[in-house]
């Protein structure tokens, strides 16, 4: 679902090609990427292209990116690294490179480009001082933000039932314009403390989402199900209706199939998936 939102395609394998640049560190499910400079039928053609264009880098390192199914042997990988490094103009730096050049072979085609690896720095958010067992996992929360904003980091995002701020923190780490609302005073205060812990400004308001008057491009709701604050199906339905009033799009997480309630609130469900956390199954729906 995240790949469909970011790249408008569903990968058939563990890699994809796209004309859209997404930082490898933005998604919890992207490990690495190559910004393609050359794509040729053979390594020799790659080498000729590098020589022709006088491709130059200082303090560079060349690495081979292994692709599952159809990869080449170890010796050939080493030779390709050596040959590419030899024809690039500039000084290599093996231990502390300023840039890494990636070379790989995919479906019989050789590819070379600037390599970027997920730095996983967002994992530091696992160390937030306040957390609850029923909270969304960090990986799911980060993916939900990507699903919601797609490639528009300037959009106006709201999490109107933000809990201890898991989604809000991930959105802020990406530079998204986000606000959070939480009806429970003590939980809202803990959310503020979580944001402060990571150096983020306070964007949490202790308020019932039904009282929100502002309009937003997109809302993310992990629908409350009554663990800390008792709730009813009528109250849940009211939250969905409020989401329709305040947002153009909605990414909603529920503990049961609530398609009928979502549709009755005026939304169309355009994509759906689910995640498992222990014995709980959470349904994820993208609505417009």
CATH code of the domain covering residue 274: 3.40.50.150
CATH of the domain at 103: 3.30.2130.30
Residue 11 lies inside a defined structural domain of this protein: no
| Rounded CA separation 139/161 (Å) | 18
Other C-beta atoms closer than 10 Å to the C-beta of 264 total 13
Nearest to 120 by CA among 2, 30, 18, 20: 30
**Strand, coil or helix: 102:** strand
Predicted pLDDT of residue 228: 56
What is the mean pLDDT of the segment spanning 96-107? 96
108 and 168 part of one domain: no
Nearest to 78 by CA among 43, 128, 118, 116: 43
Report the DSSP beta bridge partners of residue 281.
276
What is the mean pLDDT of the segment spanning 185-196? 97
201, pLDDT greater than 60: yes
State the total domains in the chain: 2
What is the mean pLDDT of the segment spanning 69-95? 92
126 and 95 part of one domain: no
Predicted pLDDT of residue 134: 76
Give 259's pLDDT tier (boundaries 50, 70, 90). Answer: very high
Last residue of a domain, one of 92, 117, 142: 117
Last residue of a domain, one of 89, 117, 145: 117
72 and 150 part of one domain: no
84 and 135 part of one domain: no
66, pLDDT greater than 60: yes
Give 205's pLDDT tier (boundaries 50, 70, 90). Answer: very high
What is the mean pLDDT of the segment spanning 181-190? 96
What is the mean pLDDT of the segment spanning 13-29? 93
Q: What is the pTM of this model?
A: 0.91
**Strand, coil or helix: 257:** coil
Whole domain around residue 186: which residue ranges? Answer: 122-287
225 and 246 part of one domain: yes
Residue 18 lies inside a defined structural domain of this protein: no
Predicted pLDDT of residue 226: 57
- For the chain, give the mean pLDDT: 94
52 and 182 part of one domain: no
């Amino acid at each position: 679902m995240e790949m469909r939102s970011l790249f408008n395609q569903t990968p058939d394998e563990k890699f994809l090609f796209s004309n859209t640049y997404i930082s490898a560190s933005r998604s919890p499910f992207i490990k690495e990427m190559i910004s393609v400079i050359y794509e040729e039928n053979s390594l020799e053609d790659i080498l000729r292209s590098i020589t022709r264009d006088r491709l130059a880098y200082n303090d560079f390192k060349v690495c081979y990116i292994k692709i599952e199914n159809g990869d080449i042997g170890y010796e050939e990988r080493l030779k390709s690294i050596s040959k590419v490094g030899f024809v690039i103009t500039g000084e290599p730096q093996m231990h502390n490179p300023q840039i890494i050049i990636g070379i790989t072979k995919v479906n019989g085609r050789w590819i070379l480009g600037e390599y970027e690896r997920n730095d996983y720095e967002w994992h530091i958010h696992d160390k937030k001082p306040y957390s609850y067992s029923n909270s969304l996992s960090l990986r799911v929360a980060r993916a939900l933000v990507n699903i919601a904003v797609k490639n528009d980091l300037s959009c106006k995002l709201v999490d109107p039932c933000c809990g201890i701020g898991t989604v809000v923190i991930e959105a802020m780490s990406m530079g998204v314009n986000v606000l959070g609302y939480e009806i429970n005073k003590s939980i809202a205060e803990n959310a503020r403390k979580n944001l402060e812990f990571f150096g983020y400004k306070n964007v949490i308001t202790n308020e019932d989402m039904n009282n929100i008057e502002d309009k937003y491009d997109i809302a993310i709701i992990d629908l409350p199900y009554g663990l800390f604050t008792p709730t009813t199906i009528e109250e849940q339905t009211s939250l969905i209706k409020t989401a329709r009033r305040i947002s153009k799009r909605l990414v909603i997480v529920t503990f049961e199939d609530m398609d009928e309630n979502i549709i009755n609130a005026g939304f169309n469900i355009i994509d759906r998936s689910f995640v498992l956390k222990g014995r709980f199954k959470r349904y994820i729906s993208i609505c417009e």
